[in-house]
Amino acid sequence: MTDAIAFDGVRLAFGGEPIYDRVDFTVARGEFVCLLGPSGCGKSTALRLIGDLVPPDGGTVRVDGRPPAEAWSEVAFVFQSPRLAPWRDVLSNVLLGAELRFGRAEARRREPLAREMLAMVGLASSAAKYPSMLSGGERQRVAIARALVVEPSIVLMDEPFSALDPNTRRRLRAEIERIWQHTGRTVLFVTHDIDEALTLADRIVLLSGKPTRVLETVVVDAPRPRRPADDPRLAALRDRLNQLFRSLEPSSEPDPQEPDA
Ligand SMILES: Nc1ncnc2c1ncn2[C@@H]1O[C@H](COP(=O)(O)OP(=O)(O)OP(=O)(O)O)[C@@H](O)[C@H]1O
Ligand SMILES: [Mg+2]
Protein backbone atom coordinates (compact mmCIF):
# COMPACT_ATOMS: atom_id res chain seq x y z
CA MET A 1 0.00 0.00 0.00
CA THR A 2 1.22 3.50 -0.81
CA ASP A 3 2.51 5.43 2.17
CA ALA A 4 0.51 8.47 3.23
CA ILE A 5 3.71 10.50 3.32
CA ALA A 6 7.16 9.69 1.93
CA PHE A 7 10.31 11.83 2.09
CA ASP A 8 13.02 10.38 -0.10
CA GLY A 9 16.46 11.99 0.01
CA VAL A 10 14.96 15.44 0.54
CA ARG A 11 17.47 18.28 0.42
CA LEU A 12 16.65 21.87 1.20
CA ALA A 13 18.45 25.18 1.65
CA PHE A 14 17.10 28.63 2.49
CA GLY A 15 19.08 31.57 1.15
CA GLY A 16 22.17 29.43 0.73
CA GLU A 17 21.94 27.99 4.27
CA PRO A 18 21.63 24.20 4.17
CA ILE A 19 18.60 23.14 6.23
CA TYR A 20 18.10 19.51 5.19
CA ASP A 21 21.15 17.46 4.37
CA ARG A 22 19.12 14.45 3.35
CA VAL A 23 15.83 13.61 5.00
CA ASP A 24 14.16 10.21 4.55
CA PHE A 25 11.08 8.98 6.36
CA THR A 26 7.65 7.58 5.67
CA VAL A 27 4.29 7.67 7.40
CA ALA A 28 1.99 4.74 6.69
CA ARG A 29 -1.73 5.22 6.21
CA GLY A 30 -3.50 5.44 9.53
CA GLU A 31 -0.25 5.74 11.40
CA PHE A 32 0.41 8.31 14.15
CA VAL A 33 3.96 9.57 13.72
CA CYS A 34 5.64 12.20 15.88
CA LEU A 35 8.37 14.31 14.35
CA LEU A 36 10.76 15.22 17.13
CA GLY A 37 13.83 17.40 16.88
CA PRO A 38 15.61 20.49 18.15
CA SER A 39 14.41 24.00 17.43
CA GLY A 40 15.25 25.15 13.91
CA CYS A 41 15.93 21.66 12.51
CA GLY A 42 13.06 21.94 10.03
CA LYS A 43 10.02 20.27 11.61
CA SER A 44 7.57 22.98 10.55
CA THR A 45 9.33 23.04 7.20
CA ALA A 46 8.56 19.33 6.77
CA LEU A 47 4.86 20.13 7.13
CA ARG A 48 5.19 22.99 4.64
CA LEU A 49 6.85 20.65 2.15
CA ILE A 50 3.94 18.23 2.56
CA GLY A 51 1.44 21.06 2.11
CA ASP A 52 3.19 22.22 -1.09
CA LEU A 53 4.08 25.56 0.51
CA VAL A 54 7.83 25.05 -0.11
CA PRO A 55 9.51 23.01 -2.86
CA PRO A 56 12.45 20.72 -2.02
CA ASP A 57 15.85 21.43 -3.61
CA GLY A 58 16.47 17.74 -4.15
CA GLY A 59 14.86 14.36 -3.57
CA THR A 60 11.11 13.85 -3.54
CA VAL A 61 8.17 14.38 -1.23
CA ARG A 62 5.14 12.22 -1.95
CA VAL A 63 1.72 12.58 -0.38
CA ASP A 64 -0.55 9.62 -0.96
CA GLY A 65 1.87 8.59 -3.71
CA ARG A 66 1.56 11.91 -5.56
CA PRO A 67 3.47 15.20 -5.66
CA PRO A 68 2.20 17.52 -2.89
CA ALA A 69 0.72 19.91 -5.47
CA GLU A 70 -1.69 17.18 -6.53
CA ALA A 71 -2.56 15.98 -3.06
CA TRP A 72 -3.42 19.15 -1.15
CA SER A 73 -7.00 18.00 -0.66
CA GLU A 74 -5.75 15.06 1.44
CA VAL A 75 -4.12 17.36 3.97
CA ALA A 76 -5.25 19.67 6.79
CA PHE A 77 -3.19 21.64 9.31
CA VAL A 78 -3.47 22.39 13.02
CA PHE A 79 -0.96 25.03 14.14
CA GLN A 80 0.46 26.05 17.49
CA SER A 81 -1.99 28.94 17.72
CA PRO A 82 -5.60 28.32 16.66
CA ARG A 83 -5.79 31.20 14.11
CA LEU A 84 -9.53 31.74 14.50
CA ALA A 85 -11.41 34.62 12.89
CA PRO A 86 -12.58 36.73 15.87
CA TRP A 87 -15.66 38.06 14.05
CA ARG A 88 -17.01 34.61 13.22
CA ASP A 89 -18.76 32.40 15.73
CA VAL A 90 -17.41 28.95 16.57
CA LEU A 91 -19.54 27.11 14.03
CA SER A 92 -18.56 29.39 11.17
CA ASN A 93 -14.91 29.21 12.23
CA VAL A 94 -15.16 25.43 12.02
CA LEU A 95 -16.62 25.81 8.53
CA LEU A 96 -14.00 28.32 7.42
CA GLY A 97 -11.48 25.78 6.13
CA ALA A 98 -14.17 24.02 4.09
CA GLU A 99 -15.42 27.36 2.79
CA LEU A 100 -11.96 28.40 1.59
CA ARG A 101 -11.38 25.05 -0.06
CA PHE A 102 -14.73 24.15 -1.50
CA GLY A 103 -16.76 27.37 -1.51
CA ARG A 104 -19.75 28.59 0.48
CA ALA A 105 -22.35 26.20 -0.87
CA GLU A 106 -20.27 23.16 0.06
CA ALA A 107 -19.46 24.66 3.46
CA ARG A 108 -23.18 25.06 4.11
CA ARG A 109 -23.71 21.42 3.20
CA ARG A 110 -21.08 20.49 5.74
CA GLU A 111 -22.78 22.19 8.66
CA PRO A 112 -24.04 18.90 10.15
CA LEU A 113 -20.49 17.52 9.89
CA ALA A 114 -19.15 20.68 11.56
CA ARG A 115 -21.59 20.19 14.43
CA GLU A 116 -20.58 16.55 14.69
CA MET A 117 -16.88 17.53 14.86
CA LEU A 118 -17.65 20.17 17.48
CA ALA A 119 -19.38 17.49 19.53
CA MET A 120 -16.36 15.25 19.07
CA VAL A 121 -14.09 17.89 20.59
CA GLY A 122 -16.55 18.55 23.42
CA LEU A 123 -17.87 21.92 22.20
CA ALA A 124 -21.35 21.00 20.99
CA SER A 125 -22.94 23.70 23.13
CA SER A 126 -20.46 26.42 22.12
CA ALA A 127 -21.34 26.66 18.42
CA ALA A 128 -22.75 30.19 18.72
CA LYS A 129 -19.97 31.60 20.91
CA TYR A 130 -17.18 33.82 19.62
CA PRO A 131 -13.47 32.99 20.00
CA SER A 132 -13.01 35.70 22.65
CA MET A 133 -15.46 33.78 24.87
CA LEU A 134 -13.37 30.59 24.78
CA SER A 135 -10.36 29.40 26.77
CA GLY A 136 -7.08 28.69 24.99
CA GLY A 137 -7.75 24.96 25.06
CA GLU A 138 -11.27 25.43 23.69
CA ARG A 139 -9.93 27.58 20.85
CA GLN A 140 -7.45 24.89 19.97
CA ARG A 141 -10.30 22.37 19.94
CA VAL A 142 -12.12 24.59 17.43
CA ALA A 143 -9.00 24.52 15.24
CA ILE A 144 -8.96 20.71 15.43
CA ALA A 145 -12.64 20.53 14.46
CA ARG A 146 -11.99 22.95 11.58
CA ALA A 147 -9.20 20.71 10.26
CA LEU A 148 -11.44 17.63 10.40
CA VAL A 149 -14.35 19.24 8.55
CA VAL A 150 -12.42 19.25 5.26
CA GLU A 151 -12.26 15.45 5.75
CA PRO A 152 -8.52 15.16 5.18
CA SER A 153 -6.96 11.72 5.14
CA ILE A 154 -3.82 13.29 6.64
CA VAL A 155 -3.76 15.69 9.59
CA LEU A 156 -0.56 17.69 10.10
CA MET A 157 -0.17 19.13 13.59
CA ASP A 158 2.57 21.61 14.46
CA GLU A 159 3.09 21.71 18.24
CA PRO A 160 -0.65 22.17 18.65
CA PHE A 161 -0.67 21.98 22.45
CA SER A 162 2.59 23.70 23.35
CA ALA A 163 0.97 27.02 24.26
CA LEU A 164 -1.46 25.38 26.70
CA ASP A 165 -1.21 24.65 30.41
CA PRO A 166 -0.15 21.10 31.38
CA ASN A 167 -3.63 19.88 32.35
CA THR A 168 -5.29 21.13 29.19
CA ARG A 169 -2.42 19.71 27.19
CA ARG A 170 -2.90 16.30 28.78
CA ARG A 171 -6.64 16.39 28.12
CA LEU A 172 -6.23 17.41 24.49
CA ARG A 173 -3.61 14.74 23.93
CA ALA A 174 -6.07 12.12 25.12
CA GLU A 175 -8.72 13.69 22.92
CA ILE A 176 -6.60 13.72 19.79
CA GLU A 177 -5.65 10.10 20.43
CA ARG A 178 -9.32 9.18 20.73
CA ILE A 179 -10.21 11.10 17.55
CA TRP A 180 -7.37 9.43 15.67
CA GLN A 181 -8.49 5.98 16.82
CA HIS A 182 -12.08 6.80 15.95
CA THR A 183 -11.49 8.33 12.49
CA GLY A 184 -8.54 6.30 11.18
CA ARG A 185 -6.77 9.42 9.87
CA THR A 186 -3.03 9.57 9.33
CA VAL A 187 -1.42 11.99 11.76
CA LEU A 188 1.99 13.64 11.53
CA PHE A 189 2.49 15.51 14.78
CA VAL A 190 5.40 17.86 15.38
CA THR A 191 6.62 18.26 18.94
CA HIS A 192 9.77 18.81 20.88
CA ASP A 193 8.29 17.24 23.98
CA ILE A 194 9.57 13.68 24.41
CA ASP A 195 6.75 12.60 26.74
CA GLU A 196 4.19 13.94 24.30
CA ALA A 197 5.77 11.86 21.53
CA LEU A 198 5.89 8.77 23.76
CA THR A 199 2.24 9.26 24.71
CA LEU A 200 0.93 9.61 21.17
CA ALA A 201 3.18 8.04 18.58
CA ASP A 202 3.17 4.68 16.86
CA ARG A 203 6.58 5.78 15.69
CA ILE A 204 8.88 8.68 16.53
CA VAL A 205 11.09 10.15 13.81
CA LEU A 206 13.95 11.94 15.53
CA LEU A 207 15.65 14.65 13.48
CA SER A 208 19.20 15.86 14.02
CA GLY A 209 20.25 19.50 14.21
CA LYS A 210 20.98 21.32 10.95
CA PRO A 211 21.94 20.26 8.36
CA THR A 212 19.19 17.84 9.20
CA ARG A 213 18.97 14.10 8.77
CA VAL A 214 16.80 11.49 10.44
CA LEU A 215 18.87 10.45 13.41
CA GLU A 216 16.70 7.59 14.49
CA THR A 217 13.23 6.12 14.07
CA VAL A 218 11.74 4.59 17.19
CA VAL A 219 8.72 2.29 17.29
CA VAL A 220 6.56 2.80 20.38
CA ASP A 221 4.42 -0.28 20.80
CA ALA A 222 3.31 0.08 24.42
CA PRO A 223 -0.47 -0.24 24.84
CA ARG A 224 -2.61 2.91 24.93
CA PRO A 225 -3.51 5.05 26.75
CA ARG A 226 0.06 5.61 27.92
CA ARG A 227 1.56 7.54 30.79
CA PRO A 228 5.26 7.69 29.91
CA ALA A 229 6.24 9.33 33.21
CA ASP A 230 5.33 6.21 35.16
CA ASP A 231 5.28 3.44 32.57
CA PRO A 232 8.25 1.15 33.20
CA ARG A 233 7.98 -0.26 29.66
CA LEU A 234 8.68 3.19 28.28
CA ALA A 235 11.42 4.12 30.75
CA ALA A 236 14.35 2.84 28.67
CA LEU A 237 13.02 4.51 25.55
CA ARG A 238 12.44 7.74 27.41
CA ASP A 239 15.97 7.73 28.82
CA ARG A 240 17.45 7.06 25.43
CA LEU A 241 15.46 9.82 23.72
CA ASN A 242 16.28 12.25 26.53
CA GLN A 243 19.95 11.49 26.13
CA LEU A 244 19.89 11.85 22.35
CA PHE A 245 17.84 15.00 22.57
CA ARG A 246 20.10 16.65 25.12
CA SER A 247 23.05 16.03 22.86
CA LEU A 248 21.19 17.86 20.09
CA GLU A 249 19.99 20.83 22.10
CA PRO A 250 22.34 21.18 25.04
CA SER A 251 21.25 24.36 26.81
CA SER A 252 17.94 25.85 25.71
CA GLU A 253 15.35 23.15 26.42
CA PRO A 254 13.42 22.79 29.67
CA ASP A 255 14.26 19.56 31.49
CA PRO A 256 11.99 16.92 29.95
CA GLN A 257 12.16 14.90 33.19
CA GLU A 258 9.83 17.38 34.86
CA PRO A 259 6.35 15.93 35.26
CA ASP A 260 4.55 16.63 32.02
CA ALA A 261 6.90 19.42 31.00
N1 LIG B 1 11.12 31.23 4.64
C2 LIG B 1 12.31 31.03 5.19
N3 LIG B 1 13.41 31.70 4.79
C4 LIG B 1 14.61 31.49 5.34
N5 LIG B 1 14.84 30.60 6.32
C6 LIG B 1 13.80 29.90 6.77
C7 LIG B 1 12.48 30.07 6.25
N8 LIG B 1 11.65 29.24 6.90
C9 LIG B 1 12.41 28.56 7.80
N10 LIG B 1 13.70 28.97 7.73
C11 LIG B 1 14.81 28.41 8.52
O12 LIG B 1 14.77 27.01 8.34
C13 LIG B 1 15.09 26.34 9.54
C14 LIG B 1 13.99 25.40 9.91
O15 LIG B 1 12.84 26.14 10.29
P16 LIG B 1 11.58 25.44 10.93
O17 LIG B 1 10.59 26.51 11.22
O18 LIG B 1 11.14 24.34 10.05
O19 LIG B 1 12.18 24.84 12.27
P20 LIG B 1 11.45 23.97 13.41
O21 LIG B 1 12.14 22.67 13.51
O22 LIG B 1 9.99 23.96 13.16
O23 LIG B 1 11.79 24.84 14.72
P24 LIG B 1 10.89 25.14 16.04
O25 LIG B 1 10.99 23.91 16.89
O26 LIG B 1 11.61 26.29 16.67
O27 LIG B 1 9.52 25.47 15.60
C28 LIG B 1 15.35 27.43 10.56
O29 LIG B 1 16.73 27.62 10.65
C30 LIG B 1 14.67 28.64 9.99
O31 LIG B 1 15.33 29.81 10.40
MG1 LIG C 1 8.35 24.83 14.13
Nearest CA to ligand 1 atom 6: 14
Band (248; pLDDT cuts 50, 70, 90): confident
* Pocket of ligand 1 contains residue 199 by CB under 6 Å: no
CATH 3.40.50.620, applies to 5-248: no
Check residue 164 and give its pLDDT: 86
Q: How far from 118 is each of 97, 152, 173, 243, 256, CA to CA, in Å?
A: 14, 16, 16, 40, 32
* Residues 13-23, mean pLDDT to the nearest whole number: 96
What is the pLDDT, as a whole number, of residue 256?
53
Q: Residue 257 — very low, low, confident or very high, per pLDDT cuts 50/70/90?
A: low
At 151 the pLDDT is: 93
Ligand 2 centre and the CA of 40: distance in Å? Answer: 7
Q: Is the pLDDT of residue 253 over 80?
A: no
CA of 44 to the centre of ligand 1 (A): 7
Please give the model's pTM, rounded to 2 decimal places. Answer: 0.93
Q: What is the mean pLDDT of residues 32-49?
A: 96
Q: What percent of the chain lies above the pLDDT cut of 90? A: 84
Residue 238: pLDDT band with limits 50, 70, 90: very high
The finding on whether 19 has its CB within 6 A of some atom of ligand 1 is: yes
Residue 32 clears pLDDT 70, i.e. is over it: yes
Query: Which ligand has an atom closest to residue 207 CA?
Result: 1
Question: How would you classify residue 184: left for phi > 0, otherwise alpha for psi between -120 and 50, otherwise beta?
Answer: left
Residues with CB under 5 A from ligand 2 (ion): 44
Q: Give the whole-angstrom CA distance, residue 66 versus residue 237.
A: 34
What's the CA-to-centroid distance between 36 and ligand 2, angstroms?
A: 10
Q: Largest Cα–Cα distance of the chain, in whole Å? A: 53
Tell me what pLDDT residue 261 has. 42
Segment 243-250 shows an average pLDDT of: 82
237 Cα: distance to centroid of ligand 2 (angstroms): 24
